[in-house]
Amino acid sequence: MSTAQLLSLSVRQAAEAISSGSLTADELFEAYRSRAAADRAAQADGLNCFTWVADAMQDGERAGPLAGIPLAVKDLFCTEGIPSQAGSRILEGYEPPYTATAVSRLASSGAALLAKTNQDEFAMGSSNENSAFGAVRNPWDRSRVPGGSSGGSAAAVAAGLAPWALGTDTGGSIRQPASLCGIVGLKPTYGSVSRYGMIAFASSLDQAGPLTRDVSDAALMLRHMVWQDPCDATSLAFPETIELPAGERLDGVRLGVPAELSEEGVQAGVRESFQAALGRAEELGATVRAIHLAHAPHALSAYYLLAPAECSSNLARYDGVRFGLRAPDPEDLLDMYTRTRHDGFGAEVKRRIMLGTYALSAGYYDAYYGRAQRVRTKIAEDFSSAFAEVDLIATPTSPTVAFKLGERTADPLSMYLSDYCTVPMSLAGIPAISIPCGLSEGLPVGLQLAGPAFSENRLLDAAYALEQAIGFDTGAARV
């Protein structure tokens, strides 16, 4: 099989080719490994997708349904003996003594660790410009961002430097970069994938999920990840097997379109592409109707109180005592803490720690954190009411296509608005998938579909039917 042929295979196809003998796991792994290594070596002259690339396939990675399939993993997953820094300087040189459950589940199904991917520091960002390893570039246009925080994972899959990648989503960190890079990204129901070994940002929101070339691969990865893990008390037993999607029609599917997340603030070209996708859905038999999520416009505000509050608590562990960076020549204990944290954290992480500490501090707790948790309840109730009327909800994934590097770094609030359409689902803990639905200004536009908790099979089926009808070429940005 030629390299071009091999690179054109989805994971599902590659796994079939390996089991039928027309491709070996070693050929597949080496093809991707050499491409990933070249990007790592090129650093800022490449896409800068990776923070670490494997030298070879490890023993024991050749058995199981995913035997020998190369897997790129976001840097914030702990991988035993392999650098895991969550894109932060404060974890410089850290090699964890254990592996995250999401990664070990995929490895026990045969997936072979190919590389660790670049990301916004501690998953805080929407452009992958907040990384100790430098910004990632979008393979569709290298002067633009890939989105974030799983920007390295998204760019690597879009550029064909990895067949698929593992990411995490707290407020949109899988879906938004998938949208900006023209690939598929799925945030599962909160709790369906273990968070054990995921370096924590906001524990009530963090969720691992797949970034893939197509919907079938997203289903395939999710199938091998869901698990109720004794090491994560918030993980849940997924009530059914994740099936590979097959349907090509949407007959009887009721799609709801919330005005609050699809009109104001959405670029004209994105809206056009989104409307065209809704037209496709109707042609496939779906009914499309306007709905309201009255509190959705407040989701971003609630999120930017709750996530920083949780982050300020989770990141208290970085103190220079047990692992990672320690500031040199401390005068005393307090000086070591404060200077280690000053030197180790980047600007955005500091902003969020400050914001969260403020929101939780005496005198402000009720006005900020307490209110935000109540808004969160209203947002979840809005979704519950909507799902009594419709089966799935459709919105654009990102209000804009990929923006220019540097365009939003000076104004944190404008960066936060990148998550406008993805944050409500995160707060409600429900699953949502982004699939590419067209181009605007030559750049990919993402369609987001969301469903009730544990509706992943229905969500994947609908996304698959739309994907077939839209026929987006996810190989267009392959380098």
Partner 1 sequence: MIDRDEVLHVASLARLALREEEIEPLARELSAVLDHVAKIGELDLRDVQPTSHVVEVTGRLRPDEPRRCLPREVALDQAPAISGGGFLVPSPQA
Active-site annotation, residues? 74, 149, 173
Contact status: 239 vs partner 1 (CB under 8 A): no
Give Cα separations from 169 to 51, 73, 211, 443, 468 (angstroms). Answer: 19, 13, 11, 22, 25
Q: Which is nearer to partner 1, 13 or 204 (CB)?
A: 204
Contact status: 336 vs partner 1 (CB under 8 A): yes
Q: Which is nearer to partner 1, 66 or 432 (CB)?
A: 432
Residue with tokens 């997708």: 49
Contact status: 280 vs partner 1 (CB under 8 A): no
Q: Which is nearer to partner 1, 289 or 374 (CB)?
A: 374
The secondary element (H helix, E strand) that includes residue 263 is none
Contact status: 341 vs partner 1 (CB under 8 A): yes
Contact status: 350 vs partner 1 (CB under 8 A): yes
Member of 234, 267, 409, 468 binding partner 1 (CB under 8 A): 234
Contact status: 40 vs partner 1 (CB under 8 A): no
Write down the least CB distance from residue 395 to partner 1, Å: 19
Contact status: 367 vs partner 1 (CB under 8 A): yes
Contact status: 338 vs partner 1 (CB under 8 A): yes
53 HSE (CA, 13 A, CB side): 23
Q: In this structure, are residues 160 and 35 in contact, taking their beta carbons and an 8 Å threshold?
A: yes
Member of 13, 267, 287, 301 binding partner 1 (CB under 8 A): 301
Q: Which residues contact 265 (CB under 8 A, 6 or more apart)?
A: 399, 417, 420
Q: Which is nearer to partner 1, 10 or 340 (CB)?
A: 340
Q: In this structure, are residues 101 and 197 in contact, taking their beta carbons and an 8 Å threshold?
A: yes
- φ, ψ of residue 437 to 5 degrees: the values are -125, 5
Write down the least CB distance from residue 312 to partner 1, Å: 6
Contact status: 42 vs partner 1 (CB under 8 A): no
Contact status: 333 vs partner 1 (CB under 8 A): yes
Q: Which of 115, 138, 152 is nearest to 37 (CA)?
A: 115
Member of 77, 133, 227, 368 binding partner 1 (CB under 8 A): 368
What's the token pair of residue 476?
Answer: 């267009």
Contact status: 242 vs partner 1 (CB under 8 A): no
Member of 50, 52, 77, 345 binding partner 1 (CB under 8 A): 345
What's the token pair of residue 462?
Answer: 């609908």
Q: How many residues bind partner 1 (CB under 8 A)?
A: 68
Category of 194 on φ-ψ map: left (φ > 0), alpha (ψ -120 to 50) or beta: beta
Of residues 201-220, which lie at the interface with partner 1 (CB under 8 A)? 204
Give the separation between CA 24 and CA 67, rounded to whole angstroms.
10
Q: Which is nearer to partner 1, 292 or 342 (CB)?
A: 342
Write down the least CB distance from residue 211 to partner 1, Å: 23
Q: Is 469 exposed, middle or buried (0-12, 13-18, 19+ CB in 10 A)?
A: middle
94: which DSSP letter?
Answer: -
Measured CA angle at 70 (ends 64, 72), to 5 deg: 125
Q: In this structure, are residues 10 and 213 in contact, taking their beta carbons and an 8 Å threshold?
A: yes
Write down the least CB distance from residue 202 to partner 1, Å: 12
198: which DSSP letter?
Answer: B
Contact status: 296 vs partner 1 (CB under 8 A): no
Q: Which is nearer to partner 1, 288 or 323 (CB)?
A: 323
Please give the single-letter amino acid code of residue 409: T
Provide the 10 A C-beta neighbour count for residue 41: 11
Cα radius of gyration rounded to whole Å, the chain: 21
Member of 370, 406, 442, 475 binding partner 1 (CB under 8 A): 370
Member of 1, 269, 358, 470 binding partner 1 (CB under 8 A): 358
Category of 128 on φ-ψ map: left (φ > 0), alpha (ψ -120 to 50) or beta: left
User: In the beta sheet, which residues pair with residue 433?
Assistant: 186, 449
Q: Which is nearer to partner 1, 81 or 475 (CB)?
A: 81
Of residues 416-455, which lie at the interface with partner 1 (CB under 8 A)? 416, 427-429, 453
Contact status: 298 vs partner 1 (CB under 8 A): yes
Write down the least CB distance from residue 79 to partner 1, Å: 14
Of residues 80-119, which lie at the interface with partner 1 (CB under 8 A)? 94-95, 97-98
Contact status: 413 vs partner 1 (CB under 8 A): yes
What's the token pair of residue 86?
Answer: 């969550």
Q: In this structure, are residues 86 and 131 in contact, taking their beta carbons and an 8 Å threshold?
A: no
> Footprint of partner 1 on this chain (CB under 8 A)?
94-95, 97-98, 189-191, 204, 230, 233-234, 236, 295, 298, 301-302, 304-305, 312, 316, 319-326, 330-339, 341-342, 345, 350-351, 353-355, 357-358, 361, 367-368, 370-378, 380, 412-413, 416, 427-429, 453
